[in-house]
Amino acid sequence: MTTHLPATTGRQLGRRSWAEPWKIKMVEPLRVTTPAERAHALAEAGYNTFLLRSEDVYIDLLTDSGTSAMSDRQWAGLLLGDEAYAGSRNFYALEEAVRDTYGYRHVLPVHQGRGAEHLISQIAIRSGQFVPSNMYFTTTRLHQERAGGVFVDVIIDEAHDPQSEHPFKGDVDISKLESLITRAGADQIAYISLAGTVNMAGGQPVSMACVRALRELCDQYRIRLFLDATRMVENAFFIQEREEGYADKTIAAILREFCSLTDGAWMSAKKDSLVNIGGWLALNDADLFEEARNLVVVFEGLHTYGGLAGRDMEAMAIGITESVQQDHIRARIGQVRYLGDLLTAADVPVVRPVGGHAIFLDARRFYPHLTQDEFPAQTLAAELYLDSGVRAMERGIVSAGRDPKTGDHHHPKLELTRLAIPRRVYTQAHMDIVAEAVEAIYAQRDSAKGLIMTYEPRYLRFFQARFDRP
User: Which spans of this chain sit near ligand F0G (rule: CB under 6 A)?
Assistant: 63, 65, 112-114, 137, 139-140, 195, 199, 228, 230, 268, 270, 279
CA distances from 113 to 66, 146, 244 (A): 11, 16, 31
Active site residue 85: yes
Nearest residue to 30 (alpha-carbon basis) of 65, 64, 59, 50: 59
Q: How far is the CB of 126 from ligand F0G (least distance, A)?
A: 22
Q: How far is the CB of 270 from ligand F0G (least distance, A)?
A: 5
Q: How far is the CB of 186 from ligand F0G (least distance, A)?
A: 26
Active site residue 426: no
Identity of residue 375: F
Q: Considering beta carbons, is residue 227 or 370 the nearer one to ligand F0G?
A: 227
DSSP per-residue codes, 159-183: GG-TT---TTTT-B-HHHHHHHHHH
| Residue among 114, 141, 224, 395 flagged as catalytic | 395
Q: Considering beta carbons, is residue 209 or 277 the nearer one to ligand F0G?
A: 277
Active site residue 271: yes
From CA 134, how far away is CA 305, in angstroms rounded?
A: 31
Q: How far is the CB of 210 from ligand F0G (least distance, A)?
A: 17
| Residue among 85, 402, 403, 454 flagged as catalytic | 85
| List of residues 6+ apart from 332 with CB closer than 8 A | 234, 356, 423, 424
Q: Considering beta carbons, is residue 385 or 442 the nearer one to ligand F0G?
A: 385
Q: How far is the CB of 112 from ligand F0G (least distance, A)?
A: 3
Active site residue 395: yes
Q: Mapping DSSP to helix (H, G, I), strand (E, B) and coil, where does residue 466 land?
A: strand
From CA 27, how far away is CA 333, in angstroms rounded?
A: 22
Residue nearest to ligand F0G (CB): 113
The gap from C-alpha 199 to its chain's centroid, in whole angstroms, comes to 4
| Residue among 91, 130, 168, 462 flagged as catalytic | 462
The gap from C-alpha 293 to its chain's centroid, in whole angstroms, comes to 25
Q: Considering beta carbons, is residue 305 or 442 the nearer one to ligand F0G?
A: 305
| List of residues 6+ apart from 14 with CB closer than 8 A | none
Active site residue 228: yes
Nearest residue to 346 (alpha-carbon basis) of 435, 262, 235, 413: 435
| Residue among 64, 228, 312, 362 flagged as catalytic | 228
Determine which helix (DSSP H) or strand (DSSP E) holds 340, and give its type and residue range: helix 326-345
Residue 59's DSSP bridge partners are 390
Q: Considering beta carbons, is residue 370 or 465 the nearer one to ligand F0G?
A: 465
* Residues forming the active site: 85, 137-138, 228, 271, 395, 462
